[in-house]
Structure 1
Amino acid sequence: MPISKPYLQMPIVESGETLLPIPQDRFAFETPHPYQVLGAPYEQASPYFLRESVLEALQSAQGYLQQLQPHWQIMIFDAYRPIAVQTFMVNFTYAQVLQEKGWQPETLSPSQKEEAWQEVYGLWAPPNVDPKSPPPHSTGAAVDITLFDWTTNEPVFMGSEIDELSARSHPHYFADLAANPQTSPNEKRLAEQADQNRRIMCEAMQKVGFQRHQQEWWHFSLGDQMWAWLNQLEQPHLTFKARYGRIEPVGS
């Protein structure tokens, strides 16, 4: 069973903004797209779309990032995600968890099944079709990113891979590791580097209004239910609502 996500209780007042393509000349891209490689059913949709105001903010974040690091660029891993793709990735990850644990689907105990789904929904939002509780990426207001360094022609070191099912995905994991007196000098050096790079990326995104997922260093949103919920936590004296619900691409 899906795990309840607290942000899904936030109200949505749809703005009606359209989805727009992310400019190929402004950002680096993870290509080929990782979920398309797995066979995710995008059909006529593209993962490289965002709502108009979200895209404008992302471009502003790019400009601010390059004030901090002139040779760095935001690298787009994933953005818009249809419900069908969300369902595909949830099921793919469930199978991946079972494989890693050496469990067979037909012999799972109820507790093993629950444990597996707990791991899956620790990373993925439920692929809800209820318009009151859409997955963040299906709103066109969430984007998964890392950073790219044009001087090395390589992604910037962030300490772990996007979508990694481990504690290393938590935004402050490497800050805690570096502060641990039992961490070796070499591990501390790498941890401090990863933490600093994550902080720079987060600073650029938050500067223009994005909120970062509490458990994923790569996931940022602006205007969806998660964004509204995180703002509400930070400013409980105010009232926040999401302005983006689930959207279908034009022509679908």
Structure 2
Amino acid sequence: MKKLALLLFFVSTSILGQQLPTNFVYLNELAPSIQIELRYLGTHNFIGKPIDGYIKNKLIVTAPTAKALIKVQKQLEPFGLSLKIYDAYRPQKAVDHFVRWAKKLSDTLMKNEFYPKVPKSELFKQGYIASKSGHSRGSTVDLTIVDAKSGSPLDMGSPYDFFGKESHPLHQQLNKTQKANRLLLRNLMLQHGFKPYENEWWHFTLRNEPFPNNYFDFSIQ
């Protein structure tokens, strides 16, 4: 544990010249076996464009969150499985980008893939877009489970970031495999101190997050 604590401190203060706030770390440096695909860095997301504040494919979380995720990963590895993380720390400027986009009702480039049944005018009302996000506190992650070698995700019954009831964790119109896969992810995350979000199977927040009232805005680079 002492070695891990020292490594967390080193990574949090000196990776590639970027000074992170105290108690933030680069998870990709601590746990390179965890797969990363920051969707908001590229164009495969519900807006269809890179999002403000995402500059490099690096995954930033608080140090306690990193420790917990490493424990989850260690439980998956003997079975040839791995975590794959789509988003973690999210700067406030990215959330502001979402809000601006949601107000521009004519921009529906990615509607067919990500929100086919939800009118864009309803995204705020239905809770899919908000002016603040727990991600900006650094202890929330969006993730799934994949085959460690191929990177193929387990079938969770709906794509990541899909706006609809199909993404609710306990959605009943799933087959047995999809239900089992969601339950596996949920149980592992609960076991290691995370709490789920009722509308998204992929979304978990560390229960004892170190910054429950702080929203950060430094870029991911």
* Global fold match (TM > 0.5): yes
Contact 2:90 2:135 in 1 (8 A): yes
SS at match of 2:83: strand
- Counterpart in 2 of 1:139? 137
Q: Percent identity?
A: 23
SS at match of 2:124: helix
Would the aligned equivalents of 1:62 and 1:73 in 2 still touch at CA under 8 Å? yes
| 1:73/1:96 CA distance change after superposition, 3 Å | farther
Q: Distance in 2 between matches of 1:250 and 1:93?
A: 21
- Does structure 2 conserve the Cα–Cα contact (< 8 Å) formed by 1:28 and 1:74? yes
* Cα deviations by residue, 1:143-175 (Å, 9 ceiling, x for unpaired): 0001111354411111111111111110011xx
8 Å CA contact 2:36–2:84 kept in 1: the answer is yes
CA RMSD of aligned residues (A): 3.2
What displacement does 1:246 show? Answer: 1.8
Q: Judging changes above 3 Å, is the alpha-carbon distance between structure 1 residues 94 and 164 closer, same or farther for their aligned structure 2 residues? A: farther
Q: Whole-Å Cα distance in 2 between the matches of residues 251 and 75 of structure 1?
A: 18
Answer yes or no: is 1:19 the counterpart of 2:24: yes
Unaligned runs of 5+ in 2: 1-20, 43-48, 113-118
Aligned partners of 1:50 and 1:141 also within 8 Å: yes
- Is the Cα contact below 8 Å between 2:71 and 2:192 reproduced in 1? yes
For the residues of structure 2 that align with 1:82 and 1:221, how far apart are their CA atoms?
A: 16
Contact 2:143-2:202 within 8 A present in 1 as well = yes
CA contact (8 A) 2:137 2:213 kept: yes
Q: Is the 8 A contact 2:195 2:205 kept in 1?
A: yes
Q: Secondary structure at the match of 1:218?
A: strand
State the alpha-carbon separation in 1 of the partners of residues 120 and 154 from structure 2. Answer: 36
Residue 113 to residue 196, structure 1, CA distance change in 2 (3 Å)? closer
Q: Which has the higher helix share?
A: 1
CA–CA distance in 1 between the matches of 2:220 and 2:152? 36
| Number of equivalenced pairs | 185
Q: How does 1:62-141 map to 2 (within 5 A)?
A: 62-66=73-77, 70-93=79-102, 95=104, 99=108, 100=111, 115-119=122-126, 122-127=127-132, 135-141=133-139
Is 1:48 aligned to residue 59 of structure 2?
yes
Query: Cα gap change, 1:251/1:149 in structure 2, threshold over 3 Å: closer, same or farther?
Result: closer
Q: TM-score with structure 2 length normalisation?
A: 0.71
Query: Is there any run of 5+ residues in structure 1 with no aligned partner, and where?
Result: 1-15, 102-111, 128-134, 179-190, 228-240
Q: Report the alpha carbon displacement of residue 74 of structure 1 after superposing the two structures with TM.
A: 0.5
Normalised by the length of structure 1, the TM-score is 0.63
C-alpha separation in 2, matches of 1:97 and 1:74? 36
Letter in 1 for 2:198: Q
Kept after mapping to 2: 8 A contact 1:45/1:82: no
Structure 2 match to 1:172: 170
Larger radius of gyration: 1
- Look up the equivalent residue of 2:83 and give its one-letter code: I
Aligned equivalent of 2:176: 192
Aligned partners of 1:19 and 1:249 also within 8 Å:
no
Mapped contact 1:75–1:145 kept (Cα < 8 A): yes
